[in-house]
Amino acid sequence: DTEVTQTPKHLVMGMTNKKSLKCEQHMGHRAMYWYKQKAKKPPELMFVYSYEKLSINESVPSRFSPECPNSSLLNLHLHALQPEDSALYLCASSHEKGWTNTEAFFGQGTRLTVV
């Protein structure tokens, strides 16, 4: 099973709403990631979790709040977003540093629209 599952697939939210994106993997990976992808651009790294602890925050605004409740789950809590935050949000997972297999596996993404 090389699947990363993201829910929901599509989300429309107002600028005053609070919502959450969810991500799950069962590959035993201990590194999990959130990426943001705008149209016709490559993914941009937002956060990295390593062994359920936040290890990288790429200077992401505080209206995005990540959470890693356990080794299989990753959440991204959204609050007071702006229309320019509309994008495809991708979750990914991989083995931790030091492993020979360094590839990341991506979910299908959540298409977020902020109105």
Partner 1 sequence: GDSVTQMEGPVTLSEEAFLTINCTYTATGYPSLFWYVQYPGEGLQLLLKATKADDKGSNKGFEATYRKETTSFHLEKGSVQVSDSAVYFCALTYRYNFNKFYFGSGTKLNVKP
Give residues in contact with partner 1 (CB under 8 A): 4, 6, 31, 33, 40-43, 45, 48, 50, 55-56, 88, 90, 92, 94-100, 102-109, 111
- Kindly state the smallest distance separating residue 17's Cβ from partner 1, in Å: 23
Taking only Cα atoms into account, the Rg of the chain, rounded to an integer number of angstroms, comes to 14
Spatial separation of the C-alpha atoms in residues 104 and 106, rounded to whole Å: 6
Q: Give one word for 52, left, alpha or beta, with left for phi > 0 and alpha for psi -120 to 50.
A: left
In whole angstroms, the minimum distance from the beta carbon of 64 to partner 1 comes to 18
Nearer to partner 1, 85 or 93 (CB): 93
